[in-house]
Amino acid sequence: MTDGPPGNGTIRYVMCEHCRTPNPASAASCGQCGKPMQKATEEMKVRVVNCPKCKKPLPAGSRFCGFCGAAMAPSPPQKAPPSSPPPRAPVADAPEATQVFHGLEIPKIEVVLKEMKPDGSIGEEHKVVKEARVGQSNCELTYPDDVLLSPRHSSVSIREGKAFLKDLGSRNGTFIKQRQDKELAAGDVFLLGRELFRFEVESPPPDTESEKTQVLSRVPDLASPPLKASLLHIRLNGETVDKCPLDKPETVIGRTSGDLMFKMDPYMSGKHARLKREPGRYILQDLKSRNGIYLRIRNEIQLREGDEFFAGEQIFRVQIKLAS
């Protein structure tokens, strides 16, 4: 006899765990030592069926009764207990949940150009759709009576979620209001009140000695050499009216005080601006003037919310906001 079940239709025996005596699988206790048949009892709860005729317990799946010989009805296939669905992960609140990344999205913006009247009030507003050109004829913003405008003077365009101001090769230029200190480059043109200035840098004379290799006898001076620069007072057509060498640490320009004074210019503040000399460069600073400093742009610049620019005699304030 073995622990394994014999063929279907016979009485199944199992070994007593204590004395190793074979006992019918249906026995509750061992016939030899009298101790309980725990293993058999646990297996019978699951694997035993009763004969429909003599009611004797038989192994599940028997084809006939080993006691009375009666045929056993085939056992219906046991269905596996339904598995409980896995617990669902708690859904986090929408703001804290990790979102699926679909790539970087370029923000959409709305740009509005507001006309500034001479008294400082707001005039008409113009919404920019891709691009808005300013000029004297055939433009989105046309001012036929403005003689200082070129036919197509400048444009404001929207690209990749940003706004840009571009001069279209105009005769008199496009100017933007300075919002912070500006390091000047040679040829920069700016407006104070109604006076135009151009910053010029003098080229140093050629140093023939520098073409020869020098003997290093001390630590070389790595600081930028001082620039020699001048400020030209110019007319609208570029003609020079006056020239002022910038040979002092700072040069102040104003209507009533400073190194350069323009007493007849009502649009210039008492102390309007300052040119400050630093090693290797000059800085243009606004001295909290009423009308500010306007810089002539070169080709194209990016606009920011609140920027002001003028073309011809037209002054505009820029409004930029995210599209709803």
Burial class (CB in 10 A: 0-12, 13-18, 19+), 204: exposed
Burial class from Cβ neighbours inside 10 Å (0-12, 13-18, 19+) for residue 265 reads middle
Distance of alpha carbon 311 from the chain centroid: 33
Q: CA-CA distance, 60 to 81, in Å (whole number)?
A: 18
Q: Which residue has the higher pLDDT, 23 or 113?
A: 113
Please report the pLDDT score of residue 177 as a whole number: 98
pLDDT (tens digit, 9 = 90+) per residue, 162-184? Answer: 999 999 999 999 999 999 999 99
Residue of 140, 21, 143, 111 whose CA lies nearest to 318: 111
CA distance linking residue 8 with residue 59, whole number of Å: 8
Of the pLDDT bands very low, low, confident and very high (cuts 50, 70, 90), residue 222 is: low
How far apart, in Å, do the first and last CA atoms of the chain sit?
86
64 pLDDT band (50/70/90 cuts)? Answer: confident
Structure pTM? 0.64
- pLDDT class of 309 with cuts at 50, 70, 90: very high
Q: Using CA atoms, how far apart are residues 243 and 164, in angstroms rounded to an integer?
A: 34
CA 134 to chain centre: 31
Supply the mean pLDDT for the chain: 84
Evaluate if residue 7 carries a pLDDT over 50.
no
pLDDT in tens, 33-47: 888 876 555 554 546
Q: 125 Cβ partners below 8 Å, 6+ apart?
A: 112, 113, 114, 115
Q: What is the 3-state secondary structure (H, E, C) of 151-203?
A: CCCEEEEEECCEEEEEECCCCCCEEEECCCCEECCCCCEEEECCEEEEEEECC
Q: Which residue has the higher pLDDT, 78 or 311?
A: 311
